[in-house]
Amino acid sequence: MKKNTRQIHLNLFLASMGHHEAAWRHPDSNLNGVYDFAHYLEHARKAEAAKLDSLFLADRYATSPTAVQYGALGGLEPHTLLSALAVVTKQIGLIATVSTSFNEPYNVARRFASLDHLSKGRAGWNIITSGTDSEAQNFNRDRIAQHQERYERAKEFVEVTTKLWDSWEDDALIQDQKTGIYADKDKVHELNHKGKYFSVRGPLNTARSPQGRPILVQAGSSEDGRDFAAEWAEAIFTAQQTLEDAQAFYSDVKKRVLLYGRDPAYVKILPGICPIIGKTESEAKEKEAELHELTNPTYSLLQLSNRIGFDLTAYPLDGPLPDLPDSSEIAGHQSRTHLIKELADREKLTIRQLLLRLAGGRGHKKIAGTPMQIADELEAWFVGHAADGFNIMPQLMNGGLDDFLEQVVPELQRRGLFRTAYTGTTLRDHYDLPVPVNSFAKAKLYQ
């Protein structure tokens, strides 16, 4: 198929058992898989066979005894797992989440450069700032830094990592056995970065990787998050409940991208989608009800309280959501808290109803229906400039993922909206993103 129109991008958001919080209790789930590589490989290979753009793993840096009592939390560290998947897959992209609040730029730059080399150009970095005190408490602090400060650190962090990825020019590696010149020292650069958060001399001790650098992905949708994304992100994973909200977000972010002098076509916006697929709409709804039956309100409430940074356990489950602090004033996850409040208001949900609405995707858009209905909705969002593609969050990895890949993807292909074969080899190829120009090489042109 020759590609001559705008195409949908599809990312598979990997989860051990599925994105529904009760997925692990479903009889189709294979619990031995949580810590077994073969389980993840099976899903990665299915996604690659279906020609998806990429796989993605989220991350948190904490858990608690009470959280794991009822929830299938914890698992393999994303970058470690994706490094392993890199050498047993051939084409699909690999996007690992790593926080800028609990790491150092030199380490992160090396690990992603290494992943990009290992995968021959298929690495992506989902940049998060981490928003909970429980995570900060595993890293020498009592509380998480304020929202704006976290993003300020994130900006400097990404400035430094991108310079480290540029510290070897494309043709710096010479490896001339006869003359004994291994690298061109004029094309390997110190950064001598000295900023508010980091001092990094450089150069990196890994030569420039196939993509120049991993693709930069971002997920926060707050003011600070949008501003950060506009400056740096090449793909954005976002949570949007309605077509109108998604269109407004899409348009706002693309405008901000322009203000940073970047091309909006090179920032792909992918809302999260939780598909529940049945032969009929009512079969889909039954599948959903079956999962909802397996939820535990105690656990769900704990998760929601953590997510919004407000303890809801004293409030009646069948009453409304109480007044929450203004989301722009909280330290934690601002945009998700805002979305959850809006959802509860708009649909007049009790806390119990809200918990079920969130059980399937923590605030991401749920679509229950036939493959045709789901394809219609995805097409409407794509054509309506609410999305450049979607972050697919199956409720169940075993079964639910297959439904999407075998029933929805072929329908999108029939409509000419999605590739039937990979047309390139790197993640940048799949997402139609250019290889960034090396900043040190560029600077030389204007010396």
Is 444 among the residues that bind a copy of itself (CB under 8 A)?
A: no
Q: What is the x/- site pattern for a copy of itself, positions 193-232, by CB under 8 A? A: -----xxxxxxxxxx-x-----------------------
Contact between 29 and a copy of itself per CB under 8 A: yes
Which DSSP helix (H) or strand (E) runs through 367?
strand 365-369
| C-beta of 36 vs 342, nearer to a copy of itself | 36
Q: Which is nearer to a copy of itself, 138 or 242 (CB)?
A: 138
The footprint of a copy of itself on residues 157-176 (CB under 8 A) is: 175
- Pick from 6, 102, 227, 341 the residue near a copy of itself by CB under 8 A: 102
Distance CA 188, CA 210 (A): 16
Task: Give 79 or 419: the residue with its C-beta nearer to a copy of itself.
Answer: 79
Instruction: Pick between residue 268 and residue 307 the one whose CB is nearest to a copy of itself.
Output: 307
In whole angstroms, the minimum distance from the beta carbon of 108 to a copy of itself comes to 10
CA-to-CA distance for 239 and 241, rounded, in angstroms? Answer: 7
Q: Does 27 bind a copy of itself (CB under 8 A)?
A: yes
Gap between the Cα atoms of 134 and 101, Å rounded:
13
Structural tokens at position 164: 């480290």
434 binds a copy of itself (CB under 8 A): no
Considering only residues 258 to 287 of the shown chain, the ones binding a copy of itself according to CB under 8 A are: none
For 47, residues 6+ apart whose C-beta sits below 8 A from its C-beta are 12, 55, 92, 401, 405
E strands, 186-339, in order: 193-194, 199-200, 215-218, 235-238, 268-277
Give the footprint of a copy of itself on residues 279-338 (CB under 8 A): 294, 296
Nearest Cα to 94, choosing from 430, 413, 374?
430
Check residue 41 for interaction with a copy of itself (CB under 8 A): yes
| Selected binder of a copy of itself within 110, 262, 341, 385 (CB under 8 A) | 110
Q: Nearest CA to 238 among 339, 101, 385?
A: 339
* Min separation Cβ 426 and a copy of itself, Å: 15
Binding test (CB under 8 A) with a copy of itself, winner from 81, 284, 339, 378: 81
Residue whose tokens read 């005894």: 65
CB 303 within 8 A of CB 119: no
Does the footprint of a copy of itself cover residue 177 (CB under 8 A)?
Answer: yes
Binding residue for a copy of itself, selected from 46, 139, 350, 441, defined by CB under 8 A? 139
Q: Is the distance from CB of 360 to CB of 394 less than 8 angstroms?
A: no
Residue 109's alpha-carbon distances to 11, 172, 340, 430, in angstroms, are 23, 18, 34, 22
Contacts of 24 by beta carbon, 8 Å cutoff, 6+ apart: 16, 17, 18, 31, 34, 72
Q: By rule CB under 8 A, what count of residues binds a copy of itself?
A: 80
Nearest-angstrom CA–CA distance, 220 and 227: 10
Task: Please tell me whether residue 45 binds a copy of itself under the rule CB under 8 A.
Answer: no
When asked if residue 69 is in the footprint of a copy of itself (CB under 8 A), the reply is yes
